[in-house]
Amino acid sequence: SDADIAVVGLGVMGRNLAFNMAEKGFRVALYNRSVERIDEAIALAGPLAKNLVACHTPEDLVAAVKKPRALLLMVQAGDAVDETAARLQPLMDKGDALIDAGNANFHDTVRREHALAEAGLAYLGVGVSGGEEGARHGPSIMVGGKPEVYARVKPIFEAIAAKFQDTPCCALLGTDGAGHFVKTIHNGIEYADMQMIGEVYGLLRRGLGLTPAEIGDVFERWSEGPLSSYLVDITATVLKTVDPKTGKPLVDVIVDSAGQKGTGRWSAIEALALGAPASSITAAVEARGVSADRALRKTLSERFPGAAQPLTLAGNREAAIELLEKALLAGKILAYTEGFAIMSAASREYGWKLPLAEVARIWRAGCIIRSTLLDRIASAYDQTPDIESLVLAPGLTPLFEGAVGALPEVVAEAFRHGHAVPALSAATSRWLALRQPRSTADLTQGQRDFFGAHGFGRIDAEGQHHGPWSQSEG
């Protein structure tokens, strides 16, 4: 019983997290439902195996860990977590902690924490981002739970986390579901960011006629500027990759139907429930849905041919590419603004006091949406923690102002020539609606009062009022 921590679930993420911990000198007990994966992990570990303890039953696993125990679950999200927790719980002693590091829905995390607390057990809900590579060499880690429970695993988490200028990308963000909520919104922003990148790729490809390799060069150039980010970097690499089998650009032999596991959808659902708009995130989730309906797309494209004509954007290719860069930058800033506003609304609703500057800081390395923009966002929240909108931050306004004019121009031109740009257009509509001093909800309120006597406010008087509808026809 000398292991510092147990890892349960030795899939892609669990195995790599365990190796990362072993490499930092921690002793890690391993268990997996399909027991053959335990010895497989040991065999793959090489010299790290000296810090790993293979346990072939849950009983052996629990016995192998120092008390109070920390048992980290990295199993499929959903029922697998409840099933695994139910198997381990009777073997645990009071004060032991279960840590769910998978992509849980935060409502489940809140429920599980309360259920375990009743049994005298501690719980942490931890969001981990960075994929396989991150898990192995440094992920971004978003923790929710009680400070005294986090304190027990903090040295391990900080040791394995990605470092941004020597600072670990790992933090306790609030109680119970806070970590998993922040991870969910991280993924929501990731959906929007990826979708916008995809839309701009489509315009460069089908609108301006560039080849995937040429577009790869464009993204490579953009990654030197304000768009600098992991997603832009990997976009360049993916686009320049050639399929060894056919010699074609790899992107052209990949089926154009996007998968999803739920975190984008949860972001949209939670945002709607909180009354905090998630226009571009929702558009990105729906776009993946549309992409998956390949049969309908085939039917409709044959019945209504002629979509996606060349763009006449900006007159010449270089100017068009510059306009697209600006549109992508403005779209990206708006998507992040949206994501942080959702977290701010959730923080108020659930009493988490989410430290948004800290969220931005721990996303600067390790995670999938890491980008230089996050540095500016961290400073914005450091300066003004309750800022009304990120686009008002002194560190962001000039960048945004210089780019946002390109958005409606690109979207209008895309629509005119038959290109779908759902996330960019959703961000544009929301932006245009937000910057108009008077909306058309005056009419909506008039209609609501007409048919339902809901009442309306007047610009020249206090209180609720009704229209003189009885004098009207209808």
Q: Does 77 bind ligand NDP (CB under 6 A)?
A: yes
Give the containing element (helix H, strand E) for 164.
strand 163-164
Q: Which of the ranges 27-35, 320-328, 377-385, 458-466 carries the binding residues for ligand NDP, by CB under 6 A?
A: 27-35
Q: How far is CA 474 from CA 126, 375, 456, 466, in A?
A: 57, 57, 19, 16
Distance CA 374, CA 381 (A): 11
x/- string (CB under 6 A) for ligand NDP, residues 220-259? Answer: ----------------------------------------
Contact with ligand NDP (CB under 6 A): which of 21, 28, 32, 285? Answer: 32
140 binds ligand NDP (CB under 6 A): no
Q: Which of 3, 7, 10, 328 binds ligand NDP (CB under 6 A)?
A: 10
Among the options 113, 190, 325, 338, which is catalytic? 190
Stretch touching ligand NDP by CB under 6 A, among 114-122, 123-131, 222-230, 438-446: 123-131
Alpha helices in 10-130, H assignment, sequence order: 12-23, 36-45, 58-64, 79-88, 106-118
Residue nearest ligand NDP, CB atom distance: 11
Chain residues 441-470 in contact with ligand NDP, contact rule CB under 6 A: none
Query: Which listed residue (24, 113, 154, 183) is catalytic?
Result: 183
Active site residue 148: no
Distance (Å, rounded) from C-alpha 411 to C-alpha 425? 6
Residues in contact with ligand NDP, shown as a per-residue x/- string from 254 to 273 under the rule CB under 6 A: -------x------------
Which CB sits closer to ligand NDP, 161 or 390? 161
Q: Which of 3, 13, 239, 377 binds ligand NDP (CB under 6 A)?
A: 13
- The sign one gets for the Cα dihedral 82, 86, 91, 96 is positive
Cβ contact 427:334 at 8 Å: yes
Check residue 423 and report its DSSP letter. Answer: H
Calpha distance 160→151 (Å, rounded): 15
Q: What angle do CA 265, 268, 271 make, to 5 degrees?
A: 145
Q: How many residues of this chain interact with ligand NDP, rule: CB under 6 A?
A: 24
User: Cα torsion for 325, 229, 402, 421, to the nearest 10°?
Assistant: 50
CA pseudo-torsion sign 80, 82, 86, 92: positive
Q: Which is nearer to ligand NDP, 366 or 422 (CB)?
A: 366
Of the ranges 78-86, 228-236, 385-393, 449-457, which one interacts with ligand NDP (CB under 6 A)? Answer: 78-86
CB 143 within 8 A of CB 173: yes
Between strands 163-164 and 140-145, the pairing is: unpaired
User: How far apart are CB 465 and ligand NDP at their closest, in Å?
Assistant: 51
Q: What mask, x for binding ligand NDP by CB under 6 A, covers residues 176 to 215?
A: ----------------------------------------
Distance (Å) of CA 254 to CA 235, 241, 251, 368? 14, 12, 5, 21
Is there binding between residue 144 and ligand NDP (CB under 6 A)?
A: no
102 versus 174: smaller Cβ distance to ligand NDP: 102
Given 131, 202, 395, 467, the residue binding ligand NDP (CB under 6 A) = 131
9 touches ligand NDP (CB under 6 A): yes
* Choice from 65, 75, 359, 391 touching ligand NDP (CB under 6 A): 75
Residue at 367: amino acid letter: C
190 catalytic residue (yes or no): yes
Find the part of the chain contacting ligand NDP (CB under 6 A) among 10-18, 170-178, 314-322, 426-434: 10-18
DSSP symbols for 19-31: HHHHHTT--EEEE
Give yes or no for residue 316 binding ligand NDP (CB under 6 A). no
The answer to whether the CB of 188 falls within 8 A of the CB of 342 is yes
Number of Cβ within a 10 Å radius of residue 133: 11
Q: What is the C-alpha to C-alpha distance for residues 373 and 366, in angstroms, rounded to an integer?
A: 15
Token pair in block for residue 311: 């763009």
**Looking at beta carbons only, is 13 or 343 nearer to ligand NDP?**
13
Q: Which stretch binds ligand NDP (CB under 6 A): 129-137, 281-289, 327-335, 432-440?
A: 129-137
- Interface residue with ligand NDP, options 51, 84, 109, 235 (CB under 6 A): 84
Closest CA to 171 of 109, 129, 136: 129
Pairing of strands 140-145, 122-129: antiparallel
Q: Applying CB under 6 A, which part among 7-15, 188-196, 233-241, 427-435 lies near ligand NDP?
A: 7-15
Residue 76 within binding range of ligand NDP, rule CB under 6 A: yes
Q: Tokens 């999938």 label which residue?
A: 368
| Identified binder of ligand NDP from the candidate list 24, 27, 37, 107, rule CB under 6 A | 37
Residue appearing with tokens 């293979």: 54
Residues that bind ligand NDP (CB under 6 A): 9-14, 32-34, 37, 74-77, 80, 83-84, 102-103, 128-129, 131-132, 261
Which residues are designated catalytic? 183, 190
